[in-house]
């Protein structure tokens, strides 16, 4: 039985910048990809991370896995800070920390067979397993993700996108990880195949006791799989809440705008709904607005929103929101 009260992962004040060249003699620009990110992930839960393209979702996932080194803050894995671990020590942790990539075919080596691709992590992370043991484990994992045994000697180009993503899931699963970061794993797939992969991930989570971080720009997809949802905007958390609470009563104007953009399958309800679409383009992360970074696109923005950086307040049930007007908007039925 999983202890779902245990903090498996804890992120503390995480920030990540990238230097962007401005020319031969000019000072580089600082692109602020992540700013002061803090949250926890309980053992056995699925945390959804949503936001528009460029908001820092994938960067956050890679910082958690230490594929990118954060500039500030800590990543605590089972209470241990892994941001400063030597390479060899971090290699040992990777058995527990895996990732599923967005583009299934691009993430697979075209020169390797399915069996070689899935077994590859074992050679690095579990070298004590011999060739026979690796093959047996590969076949068991293929069965778990819905791949037939006779596919083991085929190459990636022989598979559809959905099948290729099952190979990617098997590769992440074979080392028996505790946490898998799913970086938009269904955005490149047809809608019907998306549902199959989402159901597969849900089944695997229950069967293997996995903890998932599910990254997506599609709120309807995230709702299907997530226990809690974290909303990012320009590298900052603007809202964090249980899935049902966030969908039924969004507190931040950005969250509400994202939710109203989700298609409704009922034509009658869709016609009655007021669309509060986002205004304009997302600002440059190099030159961000003062105060609330969302104010330039927020229909509720006031003059004070340009002067005050909204703190991430903690509300009832651990809910968090970064908006200085959230109480007013809630009372007026506006957010």
Question: Hey, what domains does the chain have and what are their CATH numbers?
Answer: 7-96+177-250 (3.40.50.300)
Mean pLDDT of the region 255-268: 75
pLDDT for residue 333: 45
Closest listed residue to residue 96, CA positions, set 175, 208, 163, 17: 175
Closest listed residue to residue 298, CA positions, set 257, 330, 262: 257
The yes-or-no verdict on residue 334 having pLDDT over 60 is: no
The yes-or-no verdict on residue 62 having pLDDT over 90 is: yes
pLDDT for residue 267: 63
pLDDT for residue 335: 41
pLDDT for residue 331: 38
24 vs 228: which has the higher pLDDT: 228
pLDDT band at 9 (very low <50, low <70, confident <90, very high): very high
% of the chain beyond a pLDDT of 70: 92
158-203: per-residue pLDDT in tens? 999 999 999 999 999 999 999 999 999 998 888 889 999 999 999 9
pLDDT for residue 263: 64
pLDDT band at 280 (very low <50, low <70, confident <90, very high): confident
Q: What stretch of H or E contains 102? A: none
pLDDT band at 240 (very low <50, low <70, confident <90, very high): very high
Q: pTM for the full model?
A: 0.91
63-102: per-residue pLDDT in tens? 999 999 999 999 999 999 999 899 999 999 999 999 999 9
Give the C-alpha separation, 195 to 296, whole Å.
35
294-315: per-residue pLDDT in tens? 999 998 889 999 998 999 999 9
Q: Give every CB contact of residue 303 below 8 A, 6+ residues apart in sequence.
A: none
Sign of the alpha-carbon torsion through 121, 125, 131, 133: negative
């Amino acid at each position: 039985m999983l202890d779902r009260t245990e903090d498996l992962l804890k992120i503390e004040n995480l920030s990540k910048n990238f230097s962007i060249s401005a020319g031969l003699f000019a000072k580089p620009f600082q692109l602020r990809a992540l700013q002061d990110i803090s949250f926890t992930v309980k053992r056995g839960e699925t945390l959804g991370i949503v936001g528009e393209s460029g908001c820092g979702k994938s960067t956050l996932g890679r910082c958690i896995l230490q594929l990118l080194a954060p500039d500030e803050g800590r990543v605590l894995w089972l209470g241990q800070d892994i941001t400063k671990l030597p390479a060899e020590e971090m290699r040992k942790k990777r058995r527990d920390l895996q990732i599923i990539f967005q583009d299934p075919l691009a993430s697979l080596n075209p020169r390797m067979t399915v069996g070689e691709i899935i077994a590859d992590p074992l050679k690095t992370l579990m070298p004590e397993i011999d060739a026979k043991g690796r093959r047996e484990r590969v076949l068991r994992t293929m069965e778990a993700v819905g791949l037939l045994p006779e596919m083991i000697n085929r190459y990636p180009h022989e598979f559809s996108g959905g099948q290729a993503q099952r190979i990617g899931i098997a590769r992440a699963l074979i080392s028996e990880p505790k946490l898998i970061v799913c970086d938009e794993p269904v955005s490149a797939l047809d809608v019907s195949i998306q549902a199959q992969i989402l159901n597969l991930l849900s089944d695997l989570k229950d069967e293997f006791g996995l903890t998932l971080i599910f990254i997506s720009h599609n709120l309807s997809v995230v709702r299907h799989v997530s226990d809690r949802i974290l909303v990012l905007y320009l590298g900052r958390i603007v809202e964090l809440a249980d899935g049902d609470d966030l969908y039924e009563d969004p507190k931040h104007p950005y969250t509400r705008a994202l939710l109203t953009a989700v298609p409704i399958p009922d034509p009658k309800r869709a016609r009655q709904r007021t669309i509060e679409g986002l205004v304009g383009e997302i600002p440059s992360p190099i030159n961000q607005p003062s105060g609330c970074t969302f104010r330039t696109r927020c229909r509720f923005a006031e003059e004070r929103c340009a002067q005050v950086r909204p703190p991430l307040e903690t509300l009832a049930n651990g809910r968090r929101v970064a908006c200085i007007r959230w109480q007013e908007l809630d009372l007026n039925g506006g957010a």
